[in-house]
Amino acid sequence: MKRTHHCNELRPAHVGQTVTLSGWVHSRRDLGGVIFIDIRDREGRTQTVFDPSDLPADLFARAEKLRSECVVSVTGKVRGRPDGTNNAKIATGEVEVAVTALEVLNMADVLPFPVDDPEVAAKVNEELRLKYRYLDLRRPEMARNLRLRSKAAIATRQFMDEQGFLEVETPILFKSTPEGAREFLVPNRREPGTFYALPQSPQQFKQILMVGGVERYYQLARCFRDEDQRADRQLEFTQVDIEMSFIEREDIYALIEGLLKRVWKATLNADVPIPFKRLRFEEALNRYGADKPETRFEMQLADFTGEFRSSAFKVFSGAVASGGVVKALNAKGLAGATQGQIETMTEYARSFGAKGLAYIKVENGEWKSPIVKFFNDAEKQALIAKLGIEEGDLILFAADQWLNACEILGKIRLYCAEVLQSQGKLTIDPNRFDFLWVVDFPLLSFDKEQNRWYSSHHPFTAPVAEDVPLLKTEPKKVRGQHYDVVVNGVELGGGSIRIHQPDVQKTIFEDVLQIPPEETKLRFGYMLEAFRHGAPPHGGIALGFDRLCAILSGTPSIRDVIAFPKTAKGVDLMTDAPAPASARQLRELHIKSSDGKS
RNA sequence: GGGGGUGUAGCUCAAUUGGUUAGAGCGCUGCCCUGUCACGGCAGAGGUUACGGGUUCGAGCCCCGCCACUCCCGCCA
């Protein structure tokens, strides 16, 4: 037998038993006469003792040769530690195993980076961690993340099963639907010049499943998007994909609240209060400057459009005159912001097309600002009243079209919070989870360059029933039956009630989105046809499972909750994928590469 | 596609204004050590300063190029 107990199991109650532990050499302390070796497995670690007075010389000699991360199996007797030598840092710290037999299952080369010291290991260059991912995964932090992810997946499946959902797998080899994210194409060997595409999401299949009478579908679905990556975006990722028939928005809210409550309980033993708050899209932008508001701190935006409509400060009154708004934010206690910090904020504003960033520093009872000389008393009083201006505050302004002004200050709000946190002036409890729904999104957005409307979410989103008459007259005012679930400023997922009437869907495609009928037929014909054969009303949602796990694990990067993630350029540093294909493979696939490499 | 950051020993980092032989801790190797758990002590090895150019009497440091990683914008229906 290679193991009788795992390495986080032995307690004083086991004293006297003969046990066998298997695992990795976590650390070795060779005192010359006696050697202590901590054996580590995925559960924890246990100290073993090699005492030469009890051991054959050759066994002791082999123990002397062990080094970090060798794989061993040791047998010995559990005993209590001598007085004063307990180790309170580990769960097995009251006992040790007096070794009588050692089997070296495998030696290990010297490590490229340490895995035993959490503080050092956490700082190791990620490039190195990814190249030697198998070592990285041995670190307790990473092992914990994988375990958390597994627990979250199991809790999801149990909950969805209890709620009567069927897990249905949908194809990975799908058809290109050239709208939305760039897709990965897979050449078809059987017919030159034709391609599959990997799905960006199972969206169309899950709707078809509703037409197929499944009624309640879910899947932990792998999705693929060939877009540039971020800390929270990978080329391939997993979403909890859900679709239900005969429901309204409220049913989805209740389902997801129940699901997230279950997942948080199962993984962190945390109690998530439900129901979640709800914020209208417009309100989220007006108050937090984002459609995924971070609500764990206040610092809300205020509106001064009315107050500055006829201001002597032309930047503000001019913005209002051209249909824009004036918004402001009070970063309490940030009057001491450095020039560099102000510059960073100004860059945020510029990246949204603003010319600059107006601000007021309130220091020594004075308003220090290049613009305050343009303000009259009424304007100043309005600022004081609405923003609660006090000594030490930093006031920041955005004057622009509504969405832009909100988003500029939204970005700056988050940046200010970061700075205030680093200065110890703002504390955000890392164990606090602020869930909320963002609702009442506009169904459509206008693309100025192409002079046409496009779907804010996707073209299958149903309009709010009472807004349907506005579709052809005032598209801007039509609200979609769309909803996003947000936690701590992270968009965890989104979904909608779908259009199930073929005529409404056709109107959206052809009249509103102005996709030519023949193209509609080519791209979505099978869906429209399916909807003509008895499509139930339905709706659904997709949750970003990697993001969910990252939140649970308390890490900002989803790479830390994916066993084998890719770099920003889409490279797997361990396997070196992607790699050139052989000439023979290309020939079979009827592919000619134009880069000259193959 | 664009902007910012990083790259020095196996790992984490330092190196004054451009100035001697590029240092430290950990790790590694050897020796010593019977109660350590960040074991301790002594000694030692280990460097194309990512890479390619340039300026200079002299470059880890300045300039140009390039590569990798990373953060952000664009993009992500």
Q: Tell how far CA A61 is from the center of its chain.
A: 50
Q: Can you state the angle between helices A203-211 and A517-531, rounded to 10 degrees?
A: 40
State how far the alpha carbon of A313 is from the alpha carbons of A91, A309, A354, A423, in Å. Answer: 66, 10, 16, 33
Token pair in block for residue A493: 């997922």
Distance A417 CA to B24 C1' (A): 36
A 26-85 residues, CB < 7 A, strand B: 27, 29-34, 36, 38, 47, 49, 51-53, 67-68, 81-82, 84-85
DSSP state of A174: B
Residue lying closest to nucleotide B75, CA to C1': A227
A117 touches strand B (CB under 7 A): yes
The pLDDT of residue A116 is: 84
Report CA(A178)–C1'(B62) in Å, whole number: 49
Contacts by A477-481, CB closer than 8 A, 24 or more apart = A477/A442, A478/A442, A478/A443, A478/A444, A479/A440, A479/A441, A479/A442, A479/A443, A480/A441, A480/A442, A480/A443, A480/A444, A480/A456, A481/A249, A481/A539
Considering only CA atoms, name the residue closest to the C1' of nucleotide B32: A32
pLDDT of residue A30: 94
**Separation of CA A140 and C1' B14 in angstroms?**
30
Smallest CA–C1' distance to B72, residue: A230
C1' of B69 to CA of A434 (Å): 33
Task: Determine how many CB atoms are found less than 10 A away from the CB of residue A423.
Answer: 11
Instruction: Round to a whole number and report the distance in Å from the CA of A56 to the C1' of B46.
Output: 36
Give the Cα separation of A210 and A208 in Å (integer): 5
Question: Whole-number Å distance, CA A229 to C1' B72?
Answer: 11
Q: Strand B closer than 7 Å to the CB of A489?
A: no
**So what's the pLDDT on residue A117?**
79
If one counts every other C-beta atom within 10 angstroms of the C-beta of residue A134, the result is 9
A234 touches strand B (CB under 7 A): no
Strands A185-187 and A71-80: unpaired
Q: Which of A122, A41, A146, A44 is CA-nearest to residue A552?
A: A146
Q: CA at A27, C1' at B55: how many angstroms apart? A: 51
Model ipTM? 0.94
Question: What does each of the 598 residues of chain A score in pLDDT, given as a tens digit?
Answer: 689 999 999 999 999 999 999 999 999 999 999 999 999 999 999 999 999 988 999 999 999 999 999 999 999 999 999 999 999 999 999 999 999 999 999 999 999 999 887 778 788 999 999 999 999 999 999 999 999 999 999 999 999 999 999 999 999 999 987 678 999 999 999 999 999 999 999 999 999 999 999 999 999 999 999 999 999 999 999 999 999 999 999 999 999 999 999 999 999 999 999 999 999 999 999 999 999 999 999 999 999 999 999 999 999 999 999 999 999 999 999 998 887 788 888 888 887 778 888 999 999 999 999 899 999 999 999 999 999 999 999 999 999 989 989 999 999 999 999 889 888 889 999 899 999 999 999 999 887 777 888 898 999 999 999 999 898 888 889 999 999 999 999 999 999 999 999 989 988 988 888 888 888 888 888 999 999 999 999 999 999 999 999 999 999 999 999 999 999 999 999 999 999 999 999 999 999 877 654 4
Q: Which residue is nearest to nucleotide B41 (CA to C1')?
A: A31
A458 touches strand B (CB under 7 A): yes
Give, as ranges, the nucleotides of chain B with any atom within 7 Å of a protein CB. 1, 10-13, 25-29, 32-40, 68-77
Q: How far is CA A419 from the centre of its chain?
A: 22
Q: Are A476 and A446 in contact (CB under 8 A)?
A: yes
The candidate with the shortest Cα–Cα distance to A389, out of A410, A366, A413, is: A366
Q: What pLDDT is stored for residue A595 in this prediction?
A: 60
Report yes or no: A205 and A215 within 8 Å, Cβ to Cβ: no
